[in-house]
Amino acid sequence: METTTPQEAGRPIRAAVARAFATPLSMETILLPAPPAGTLRVRLTALAICGSDLTFLSGAWGGALPALYGHEAAGIVEAIGAGVSRVSIGTRVAAGLLRWCGACRACANARITDCQSSLPPDAMATIRDQAGKPVWQAMAIGAFAEAILVHESQVMPLPDSVSDEAGALMACGGITGFGSVRNLAQVQAGESVLVVGAGGVGLNCIQAAALIQKEANTEANKQAGTGARARTETGKVIALDRDGERATAAQACGADTFILMDEDENAVAGRVRQALGGEGADHLFLAVGVASLVPFALSLLRRGGTLTLVGMAASSNRAEFDMTELADSGKRILGSKMGKPMPEQDFPTLYKLIGAGKLQIAPLIAARRPFAEINDAIAAARTGGGRQVLTFD
């Protein structure tokens, strides 16, 4: 196995560093060390901006400064540390924040987001600015840069049928949306699904839910034989968003109905019930980190329905709900840490769906810009909508 050469130590790369919260990133040269054992360096070809990057950048989650955010990336492996076996130099990969040891109790029980093992590169890593001061590699990836240094579990080889930007988009938002619907809430064919927030993660919840219905219909059609019309119970997928312009993307991702969220919650609830034939929903995915929406979301569920919290709010947010009502109605609230992901199974499944054209990438993307325009991309991402994708020369 090839390893990095000594002269690669402290490779200078361009990076967009957060020097202060809620201010534009500073484009500067930083030094990325040669990969220690178990890690590898990826030269990025695509990068997307996730809502969590914006929350970090706003200061709502705290963390050390200066910092490198960014955690939805793809590129080419250009150097590997000792013992790396998953990929070799030249492998095209997607990279994200999910990392796991594969040996602890959490990993053995498919709870990889609970893996607490200490893995290289360490938290206050070895990335330095030009003055030699450490730069915090946020989420153990720090992808707002031309290259990243990550643990080998953080990368997934990409098949030819999956583009770099598709790989980047699946690394966090994609797997979170799909995992929340399939692994965590385990939506069944025929169940109705509301998705609040038709942004990066919400659109992937919509796609995952719509696909479950579509697969069930195809299966039923097959069993009904040629020419016969299948009689299947079709669960509706309904998207809600404050921005009416999200309707096109939501429908492209398979939403049956788009409902505009305005200030009048009673009117919105009325429109939802009407779309569901007078019923509450079986599932609601809250894909925005707005705690004040939790009671409203619960009110839209049928008795025994499930609310899945997918969006991450600022640390101090508290949601209120009637405990007795929740218990009496048998409703459930699930917290989604990236959709209870099983990367070794989920990513290949996502890639297969993309390759087969069953999973749409185009509706997820709002705009593409060169990496040098990352501050413009962040400003645009703050106004909502789809993902901002950055490209590299």
Q: Which residues make up the interface to Zn ion (CB under 5 A)?
A: 50, 52, 100-101, 104, 107, 115, 117, 172
Asked if the bond preceding 12 is cis, omega within 30° of 0, the reply is no
CB 327 within 8 A of CB 166: no
| Per-residue exposure over 347-376, b if at least 16 CB sit within 10 Å of its own CB, e if not | beebbebbeeeebbbebbbbeeeebebbee
Tell the smallest beta-carbon distance from residue 81 to Zn ion (Å). 19
CB 76 within 8 A of CB 152: no
Strands 281-286 and 193-196: parallel
Q: Which is nearer to Zn ion, 56 or 371 (CB)?
A: 56
- Coil vs helix vs strand at 103: coil
Q: Which is nearer to Zn ion, 49 or 84 (CB)?
A: 49
DSSP 337: S
Q: Which is nearer to Zn ion, 70 or 305 (CB)?
A: 70
Tell the smallest beta-carbon distance from residue 354 to Zn ion (Å). 18
Q: Which is nearer to Zn ion, 197 or 280 (CB)?
A: 197
CB 202 within 8 A of CB 180: no
Of residues 9, 13, 46, 10, the one with CA closest to residue 27: 13
Determine phi and psi for 296, rounding to 5 degrees: -60, -45
Tell the smallest beta-carbon distance from residue 217 to Zn ion (Å). 31
CB 79 within 8 A of CB 46: no
Where do we find the tokens 């919105």?
Answer: 268
Q: Which is nearer to Zn ion, 34 or 94 (CB)?
A: 94
What is the enclosing helix (H) or strand (E) of 177? helix 175-179
Of residues 325, 273, 267, the one with CA closest to residue 294: 325
d(CA 297, CA 9): 51
Tell the smallest beta-carbon distance from residue 117 to Zn ion (Å). 5
Q: Which is nearer to Zn ion, 107 or 189 (CB)?
A: 107
Tell the smallest beta-carbon distance from residue 208 to Zn ion (Å). 16
Q: Which is nearer to Zn ion, 301 or 313 (CB)?
A: 313
Q: Which is nearer to Zn ion, 119 or 259 (CB)?
A: 119
Strands 11-17 and 147-151: unpaired
Tell the smallest beta-carbon distance from residue 141 to Zn ion (Å). 10
Tell the smallest beta-carbon distance from residue 89 to Zn ion (Å). 26
Q: Which is nearer to Zn ion, 89 or 101 (CB)?
A: 101
Q: Which is nearer to Zn ion, 196 or 238 (CB)?
A: 196
Residue 59 Rama label (left phi>0; alpha psi -120 to 50; beta): left
Tell the smallest beta-carbon distance from residue 71 to Zn ion (Å). 6
Tell the smallest beta-carbon distance from residue 145 to Zn ion (Å). 16
Report CA Rg, the chain. Answer: 21
Of residues 169, 155, 156, 139, the one with CA closest to residue 48: 169
Tell the smallest beta-carbon distance from residue 245 to Zn ion (Å). 22
Token digits for 201?
């993660």
